[in-house]
């Protein structure tokens, strides 16, 4: 009869995740041993938050839930931000925390924290693992984490339960729910088709549900049948290739996109999750058709009609009944793209962050996967970097956490070992995850880290400037980037010109080593760019 940790390790591997990540505790060692016996990796991170972000990002890319671990007490509280990432960025994750056995938990004080009370508000389910019910709990955890809306599940693992025998449960062998998607017939879609057929200028707003149902190809076909421009959320960059003539750009919650959306006579949201939008009132009175795989309960985006179902099936069913309703799409999309470019092209004395992005896109191969940190530079990366396929651009949008880019890039490297991976980070966000440069080197997961070195926490400086508050408490600088990178076993270079950046990026791709490229940028353009693109 298998032990609890053996059942758990088997389930993780069978679900499609061949590794566990995090920082171990005393009770984790039995799970690590079980994983080792099954030829699984344990990737040691330098901070629990980064471990959870890596695991969650793996879950986003592959659909198989990532698994992260922490010790009890301080390890569990340290991991909270990474689990919050999975919660608000809708990523399938299993977060395991060590815990004292029941008697000690009820009577002791040192390192005693109620983990489930902490994680309950930011998980889809929180449970304590017991050997007698382990197989059912693990099966439920996997199904809960991966079912729309995807998200994290927390499992507290008490000492004493890890090596106890776990009886076989009389359930079907499938760990995750098998589902059969259907295509609705035209008659059932009549109200939606009537809305679409009346529209002359429809626009599509694509969100995370497109990715959950792997509906990128159907979305593009639907847009082409309508002749409609497509705006995506930042998490969905690439669901329509960003060199497609109907691709307009990204929804950023600013004034610049309102001109385009306000011209439409029908808004069609496809898998849009309100967590992807800025927390502002919906600004449009245009009729709105929502295609969703989960009911929209928050009432933030007021739909005239919402159709529930698997996104692929809904798009196929609707596409069969329409064609050529809109002819404005390509022109409207091109006009919007030009407006964004004009708004970003603010003159600077030194190398501008937006120009650095253009150089990076030109220098790197088309199949490069990019991750992006939070901060002032994120707005420019989202607009200037082009992605050509789904899940080729990875960022924290729902939580908007700094420290995302490096662990996110490590997840991308694990999922796509043969493709270049670049992490875009401000100097502040980079320093929050700098320790896992060592993980990249030790685990042989080479990534390129491009740091926007503006020597400050630029987003806060922007807010200070807009509020007419003097600069205070935001200065960075004084870093020896080359020595820092080399200290972790990585390559390091500092660049100040477009030519130097091109050379450094091309060298990094060829080297196969983890490389830190610090780009000395002139951030004086940020305020004008933010004013043009987004309200602060």
3-state secondary structure 198-241: HCCCEEEEECCHHHHCCCHHHHHHHHHHHCCCEEECHHHCCCCC
Note the pLDDT of residue 535: 56
Note the pLDDT of residue 325: 60
Question: Distance (Å, rounded) from C-alpha 452 to C-alpha 430?
Answer: 9
Q: Quick one: 347-533 is in which CATH superfamily? A: Thiamin diphosphate (ThDP)-binding fold, Pyr/PP domains (3.40.50.970)
- Say what angle helices 498-511 and 353-363 make with each other, to 10 degrees: 40
CB atoms within 10 A of CB 125: 17
Task: Compute the half-sphere exposure of residue 524: CA atoms within 13 Å on the CB side of its CA.
Answer: 7
Question: Distance (Å, rounded) from C-alpha 148 to C-alpha 153?
Answer: 13
* Strands laid side by side in the 202-206 sheet: 247-250, 230-232, 202-206, 266-270, 288-292, 305-308
Question: Distance (Å, rounded) from C-alpha 308 to C-alpha 314?
Answer: 8
Question: Distance (Å, rounded) from C-alpha 263 to C-alpha 326?
Answer: 12
Domain ranges for the chain, please list them: 4-158, 186-335, 347-533
Question: Distance (Å, rounded) from C-alpha 345 to C-alpha 533?
Answer: 12
pTM over 0.85: yes
Collapse the DSSP code of 103 into the 3-class scheme (helix H, G, I; strand E, B; otherwise coil) and give the result.
helix
Average pLDDT by consecutive 10-residue portion of the chain (536 residues)? 91 95 90 95 96 98 97 95 98 94 74 91 97 93 95 95 79 61 83 94 97 96 96 97 97 85 96 92 94 87 94 93 79 94 83 90 97 86 94 96 97 97 93 95 98 77 76 76 96 96 97 95 73 63
β-partners of residue 94 are: 67, 153
Note the pLDDT of residue 103: 67
DSSP state of 174: -
Asked if the domains at 186-335 and 347-533 fall in one CATH topology, the answer is yes
Closest by CA to 382, choosing from 189, 195, 236, 506, is 236
Q: Which residues contact 139 (CB under 8 A, 6 or more apart)?
A: 11, 169, 171, 175
Q: Quick one: 186-335 is in which CATH superfamily? A: TPP-binding domain (3.40.50.1220)
Going from the C-alpha of 337 to that of each of 231, 265, 521, the distances in angstroms are: 11, 20, 24
Q: Which CATH number fits domain 4-158: 3.40.50.970, 3.40.50.300, 3.40.1080.10, 3.90.226.10?
A: 3.40.50.970
For residues 268 and 291, the answer to whether their CB atoms sit within 8 Å is yes
Please report, to the nearest 10 degrees, the dihedral formed by the alpha carbons of residues 51, 56, 61, 66 taken in order.
Answer: 80
Note the pLDDT of residue 112: 79
Please report, to the nearest 10 degrees, the dihedral formed by the alpha carbons of residues 331, 334, 339, 341 taken in order.
Answer: -170
């Amino acid at each position: 009869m298998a032990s609890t940790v053996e059942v758990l390790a088997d389930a993780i591997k069978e679900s499609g995740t061949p590794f566990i990540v995090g920082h171990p505790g005393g009770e984790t060692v039995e799970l690590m041993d079980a994983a080792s016996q099954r030829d699984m990796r344990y990737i040691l991170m330098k901070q629990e938050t980064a471990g959870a972000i890596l695991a969650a990002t793996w879950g986003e890319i592959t659909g198989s839930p990532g698994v992260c671990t922490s010790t009890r007490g301080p390890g569990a509280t340290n991991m909270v931000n990474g689990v919050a990432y999975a919660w608000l960025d809708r990523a399938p994750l299993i977060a395991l925390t060590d815990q004292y056995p029941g008697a000690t938990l009820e009577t002791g004080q040192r390192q005693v924290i109620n983990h489930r009370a902490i994680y309950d508000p930011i998980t889809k389910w929180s449970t304590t693992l017991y050997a007698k019910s382990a197989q059912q709990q693990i099966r439920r955890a996997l199904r809960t984490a991966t079912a729309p809306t995807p998200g994290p599940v927390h499992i507290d693992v008490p000492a004493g339960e890890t090596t106890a025998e776990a009886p076989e449960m009389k359930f079907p062998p499938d760990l995750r729910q098998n589902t059969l998607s259907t295509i609705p017939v035209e008659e059932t879609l009549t109200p939606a088709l009537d809305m679409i057929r009346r529209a002359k200028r429809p626009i599509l707003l694509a969100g995370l549900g497109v990715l959950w149902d792997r509906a990128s190809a159907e979305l593009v076909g639907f847009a082409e049948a309508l002749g409609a421009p497509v705006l995506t959320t930042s998490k969905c960059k690439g669901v329509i290739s960003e060199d497609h003539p109907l691709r307009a750009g990204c929804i950023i919650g600013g004034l610049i996109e309102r001109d385009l959306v306000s011209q439409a006579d029908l808004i069609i949201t496809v898998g849009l999750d309100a967590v992807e939008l800025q927390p502002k009132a919906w600004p449009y009175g245009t009729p709105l058709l929502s295609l969703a795989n989960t009911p929209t309960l928050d009432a933030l985006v007021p739909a005239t009609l919402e159709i529930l179902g698997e996104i692929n099936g809904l798009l196929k069913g609707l596409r069969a009944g329409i064609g050529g309703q809109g002819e404005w799409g390509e022109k409207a999309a091109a006009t919007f793209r030009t407006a964004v470019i004009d708004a970003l092209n603010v003159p600077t004395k030194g190398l501008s962050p937006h120009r650095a992005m253009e150089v990076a896109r030109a220098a790197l191969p088309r199949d490069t996967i990019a991750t992006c940190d939070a901060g002032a530079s994120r707005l420019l990366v989202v607009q200037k970097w082009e992605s050509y396929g789904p899940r080729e651009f990875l960022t924290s949008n729902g939580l908007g956490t700094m420290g995302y880019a490096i662990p996110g890039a490590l997840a991308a490297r694990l999922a796509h070992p043969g493709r270049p991976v670049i992490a875009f980070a401000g100097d502040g966000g980079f320093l929050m995850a700098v320790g896992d440069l060592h993980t990249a080197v030790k685990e042989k997961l080479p990534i390129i880290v491009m740091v926007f070195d503006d020597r400050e926490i630029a987003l806060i400086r922007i807010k200070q400037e807009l509020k007419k508050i003097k600069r205070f408490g935001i200065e960075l600088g004084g870093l020896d980037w080359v020595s820092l990178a080399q200290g972790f076993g990585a390559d390091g270079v500092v660049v100040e010109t477009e030519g130097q950046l091109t050379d450094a990026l091309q060298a990094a791709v060829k080297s196969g080593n983890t490389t830190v490229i610090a780009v000395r940028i002139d951030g004086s353009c940020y305020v004008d760019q933010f004013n043009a693109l987004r309200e602060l």
